Structure 1
Amino acid sequence: MADYRAPLDDMAFLIDELLDAGTRLGGLPPFADLDVGPELTAALLGEAGKLAGEALSPLRRGGDEHPATCEGGKVSISPGYAQALKQLGEGGWLGISADPNYGGQGLPELYATAACEMWNSADMALALAPILSTGAALAIAAHGNEEQKQTYLPKMHAGEWSGTMNLTESGAGSDLGVMKARAVPEGDHYRIHGQKIFITWGDHEACDNIVHLVLAKLPDAPEGSRGISLFIVPKFLVNSDGSLGARNDVYPVSCEHKLGIHGSPTCVMAFGDNEGAIGYLLGEENRGLACMFTMMNEARLKVGLQGLGSAEGAYQQAADYARERVQGGVPIIQHPDVKRMLLTMKSLNEAMRALVYSEALTMDLAHAGPEAERAARQLRVDLMIPVIKGWLTEVGQEITSLGVQIHGGMGYVEETGAAQYLRDVRIAAIYEGTNGIQAADLVGRKLGRDKGAAMETALAEVADTVRALRDADDTALTAIADSLGRALDQMRASTAVVLQALDEDMPAALGASFDYMMQAGYLLGGWHLARSALLAHQRLADGSDNDFYRRKIATSGFYAERILPRCAAYAGAIAGAGDGLQAYPEAWI
């Protein structure tokens, strides 16, 4: 079984040609000294790809076969993981887009996104550790005071300390308002008591300290989610000189036995079973959810990348197997149905990558672009994040399942490792807000707050691409334009139906929300692939003889022909929805 090979040609094409990152980002004040452009892209992607393929990918099977364990209030992680995390930290990858004033590299989020895709393709269970750490660091950077930033961020960005998020409690699920964890004021700190579940990388000994971000309620807090505060609770207390002090009263109780991501220690964490865990308020009292949601766009984009990363790994292994497995006297890659599955995997992967990289660039522009444009950019990010998280993780399940199918019976046994991609990625549609929650957020909040204006702005850009494809006067591009144009009309019709339902029948709107999210994903993915095809056509017309461009046009054509028609099915479900869902008695289910 070959190790992961980063698709550097497609990544570089998206970053430097399609997204024109050097022009868009290089002139912005935070990045002016970085010489953003093809040389930086090639160097960064090359190093990240080498690390992912040579250091992380070989650990994937071992992490699955030798899961993290918890015994006596201590977690032992899978072989090789501690060394790999040390490499990530020493290479500066954990703080790649963080503020240089606190030990970060100060690079655009676009590059952090590309690196994160590689970590997830190599080993999703291992990649969860840097995702959680960077998310926790982002919350501290956004809401911490200067002392907190100086105390925690440089160590976290260097990988010397890691970070976690502690939200969920037993029986609460996504309803954080009913949590039982309590925080009692005590001088300049608080005593935290309670238990949290599903805490990713909640304990380990791969670094010197773990910085837990914990949601809890103060004694006089308002009821519900409005009364939640956020606290920094380090595993080891930090002395005034920055050295580590006493062990805090926070311990892992157990590691969950999971369907996948076995190498990731998903812990039940106990806070304050003895004298009470010492915690420090992050942000304002009773504003904990607002602090936590600062990092949600970034976190949900990274979870979407888990769908893409696992799908890319599954595709590479399936393609290698199909070239080697002979049946009927020929490699099975020559069988039409196997070829169909492989092209489905490949085209969806490239569509997902193009969508998520484009919105990572939008995040950079929302944070550092011209002041007058930032609000509009942020609206675009807010609209796209639930699509990225929801659509990419749903498609990731489809692609990893196809990977098993291409292996045939050998995919269903564990020796090949094909099934691991499917088992690992299954969680991504569940955590950081289930995909049903993402769909409800897309429709109920993002679409509803501006009556579809941000969506129409995006759809107008799709229409511009359709016109440009037709103006190119090329048979292949015209076919893509026809398919994309039909899907665009269907999306506009679905948007009108959903907006009307938001005004007249909210349950009906929410009942259509998942279909709407999926329709949006397929359309937007197809749009970005069409943009890629258009640019590839231009490069060939300018004299390039690079087969990558021919391959990109052909891949985009396959997507337009075989994948974009899925939009019609979702549009039909939305347009034809009557009372069947709401009128169906729950007792009959």
Structure 2
Amino acid sequence: MPAHVLSERDLTFMLYELFDAEALIERPRYAEHSRETFDAAIATGKAVALKHFLPIRQKVDTHQPTFDGNKVHLIPEIKPALDAVIAAGLAAPASDFASGGMQLPLIVSNAAQAHLSAVASTTLGYISLTDANANLIEAHGSTEQIDTWVRPMREGRFMGTMAMTEPGAGSGLADLTTTATCEADGSYRLSGSKIFISGGDHELSENIVHLVLARVKGAPKGVKGISLFIVPKFLVNEDGSLGERNDVALAGLFHKMGGRGHTSTALSFGENGGATAYLVGEENKGLMYMFHMMNEARIMVGTGAALTALTGYQYSLDYARERPQGRLLGNKDPQSPPIPIIEHADVRRMLLTQKAYAEGAYALCLLGSQLADDEKTAETEEARAQAHTLLDFLTPIIKTWPSEYGPKANNLAIQVMGGHGYINEHPVEMFYRDNRLNPIHEGTTGIQSLDLLGRKVPMNNFAGYQAILAEIHGTIDKARDTELSLFAEQLGTALTELQQTTTTVLGATAEKNIDLVFANSVSYLEMFGHIVVAWIWLRQGLAADAGLQANPHKNDEHFYRGKLQAMQYFFRCELPKIYHWSKLVREIDSTSFAMQAEWF
């Protein structure tokens, strides 16, 4: 029997029992929806994934994009698969009815695309990045730009990218050299090179809309002098038809370890006099605008990492249930039949670890989607502001924790399957390769850790920091009067450790070398991330406990007890790691900082 892609029971649990998504239909924006329409969207996403992407999954992985000097070539099956997503209304299911979307809550939109992301991996990125590109232009562009670029992207005729990285300026955007010069007609001429641009060239759509960071000549140095431009592959005439090819050229393709269905490109702008570009908003505010797309992409990265971990877990779980091998140590009868490997304690350990990582990570990402939605549609201005504060603070964790622990889960899926996990006749080795990019792009783990400790924690007089502490304390208080009180106390102790560590390390910045103080910022991010995921697991535990109290049928009882066991695993085996990380941060450990370049 083919392995499951995802557990539909788990999706239902997270949406309706953990996050109460059904309550969202009380909001005016979602008044035309019901649980039935939510479930129908999720079922549609699954159907498209299984019909169009699952049969080509291995072929996409083994046939990387090629460039013949003129055009990019992908396997032909990719375009009809992406067209099926667009035709089903799943390219931007959270967008307005008026623009062709389903106007779903973001948390439901996330779930509706879950099977697609799990099966299609980064091939879905053509559509996901287009949605994020359109969202940015809707938020910061002019009415004319929305009509010209967003409408055809929503219709699926155009696709979009984000172009930031340069050969000499990767994460260090302050050093980018791409330049733009204003013309008499108000447009700009843009020149420069960008690399690692996902979806930067292909033949899947009529046009490609690049959002490009560049510096207007004479602008201030550093990030304060960065502007944002729309640079299309083809210019567009006043009647909306395609015009001539813009001065944008594909300089080459990068061939990736995983995620091979999504082109990674080097683009050259302005080799023949300058690419026509259109300023978004005001000059020198480009990085602020781009953060709209970057933060959306960061949640997208975390979600993709979590779903890749979940599908790897599901595959190795199904394999472990069916693969007979060996006998328990207590069985001395060599004539007895071999047992399924799921009966072996170490296999259960690896499966339980995957479950704790993957289900914790995806619940965290769904929380991010819920907060993003609350930021726009919550009933009161205070609730919307609170959601914004929490999401802004949690974004580095939502991006980083799943992208670090998702590959760890996929690594264990390979191990569960032994030699079968290491060969490409089974997809778990591909899941690992696909997932390995996620700790790198949209801000590496190290960069996210500096953002969390150096900026997000003290920002606005510690507003986001205090807000998440209050949320966690609220769950702890709720759990103290339940069967989970012991876990509530453990989380409370961990939270005290976090607060003391935070006070110590930020206090040290006044008297020590700041580079030394922040040398262990990744350990701080690990500590904070583990505490947040422990909180998410405690919330799952409370929901599972409530489900057990309702005297469920046998299958649901097994499901809820599995949730509680995964929560227990996380608290016993993962949460204690925070004390090691805390020690490194609080003591301003200098081991890495003091290592000299010449000593390597």
Specify the alignment match of 2:575 in structure 1: 564
The DSSP-based 3-state class of the residue aligned with 2:91 is helix
**8 Å CA contact 1:444, 1:502 repeated in 2:** no
Specify the alignment match of 1:539 in structure 2: 547
**8 Å CA contact 1:3, 1:53 repeated in 2:** no
Residue 498 of structure 1 aligns with an amino acid whose one-letter code is: V
Q: Aligned ranges for residues 179-190 of structure 1 at < 5 Å?
A: 179-186=176-183, 187-190=185-188
Specify the alignment match of 1:436 in structure 2: 446
Segments of structure 1 that go 5 or more residues without pairing to the other structure are: none
Per-residue deviation, 1:48: 1.4
Residue 6 of structure 1 pairs with residue 16 of structure 2: no
Deviations 1:410-439 (A, max 9, x none): 323333232111111111111111111111
Residue 380 of structure 1 pairs with residue 390 of structure 2: yes
Alignment partner for residue 493 of structure 1, among 490, 493, 500? Answer: 500
Specify the alignment match of 2:474 in structure 1: 464
Residue 494 of structure 2 aligns with an amino acid whose one-letter code is: A
Aligned residues: 583
Alignment partner for residue 413 of structure 1, among 395, 420, 423? Answer: 423
Residue 165 of structure 2 aligns with an amino acid whose one-letter code is: T
CA distance in 2, matches of 1:40, 1:571: 46
Specify the alignment match of 2:560 in structure 1: 549
Q: Aligned ranges for residues 318-357 of structure 1 at < 5 Å?
A: 318-328=316-326, 329-357=338-366
Per-residue deviation, 1:467: 3.2
The DSSP-based 3-state class of the residue aligned with 1:483 is helix
Specify the alignment match of 1:135 in structure 2: 132
CA distance in 2, matches of 1:383, 1:166: 25
CA distance in 2, matches of 1:253, 1:444: 37
Instruction: Report the TM-score, using the length of structure 1 for normalisation.
Output: 0.94
Residue 29 of structure 2 aligns with an amino acid whose one-letter code is: P
Residue 401 of structure 1 aligns with an amino acid whose one-letter code is: N
CA distance in 1, matches of 2:223, 2:413: 41
CA distance in 1, matches of 2:454, 2:224: 20
Per-residue deviation, 1:75: 0.8
Identical counterparts, % of pairs? 37
Q: Which moved more, 1:12-21 or 1:62-71?
A: 12-21
**8 Å CA contact 1:66, 1:78 repeated in 2:** yes
Residue 245 of structure 2 aligns with an amino acid whose one-letter code is: R
**8 Å CA contact 1:125, 1:262 repeated in 2:** yes
Specify the alignment match of 1:83 in structure 2: 80
CA distance in 1, matches of 2:471, 2:220: 44
Residue 368 of structure 1 aligns with an amino acid whose one-letter code is: T
Specify the alignment match of 2:283 in structure 1: 285
The verdict on how the C-alpha distance between 1:535 and 1:4 changes in structure 2, with shifts beyond 3 A counting, is closer
Specify the alignment match of 2:22 in structure 1: 22
CA distance in 2, matches of 1:90, 1:236: 24
**8 Å CA contact 2:5, 2:315 repeated in 1:** no
CA distance in 1, matches of 2:488, 2:294: 35
Residue 435 of structure 1 aligns with an amino acid whose one-letter code is: T
**8 Å CA contact 1:64, 1:262 repeated in 2:** yes
CA distance in 2, matches of 1:179, 1:219: 12
Specify the alignment match of 2:332 in structure 1: none
Per-residue deviation, 1:347: 1.6
Specify the alignment match of 2:455 in structure 1: 445
Residue 363 of structure 1 pairs with residue 372 of structure 2: yes
Residue 355 of structure 1 aligns with an amino acid whose one-letter code is: L
The DSSP-based 3-state class of the residue aligned with 2:230 is strand
Q: Which moved more, 1:460-469 or 1:394-403?
A: 460-469
Per-residue deviation, 1:56: 1.9
The verdict on how the C-alpha distance between 1:433 and 1:96 changes in structure 2, with shifts beyond 3 A counting, is same
Deviations 1:250-286 (A, max 9, x none): 1212110222112211011122222432221111122
The verdict on how the C-alpha distance between 1:177 and 1:453 changes in structure 2, with shifts beyond 3 A counting, is closer
CA distance in 2, matches of 1:421, 1:455: 34
Per-residue deviation, 1:519: 1.5
The DSSP-based 3-state class of the residue aligned with 2:438 is helix
**8 Å CA contact 1:483, 1:561 repeated in 2:** no
CA distance in 2, matches of 1:193, 1:335: 60
Residue 199 of structure 2 aligns with an amino acid whose one-letter code is: W
Q: Which moved more, 1:43-52 or 1:257-266?
A: 43-52
The verdict on how the C-alpha distance between 1:509 and 1:128 changes in structure 2, with shifts beyond 3 A counting, is farther
Specify the alignment match of 1:158 in structure 2: 155
Instruction: Report the TM-score, using the length of structure 2 for normalisation.
Output: 0.92
Residue 42 of structure 1 aligns with an amino acid whose one-letter code is: D
Per-residue deviation, 1:208: 1.4
CA distance in 2, matches of 1:13, 1:240: 49
Residue 434 of structure 2 aligns with an amino acid whose one-letter code is: D
CA distance in 2, matches of 1:247, 1:4: 45
**8 Å CA contact 2:297, 2:442 repeated in 1:** yes
Deviations 1:277-321 (A, max 9, x none): 222111112221111112222111001112102111211221122
Per-residue deviation, 1:86: 0.5
RMSD, matched Cα: 2.0
CA distance in 2, matches of 1:527, 1:43: 30
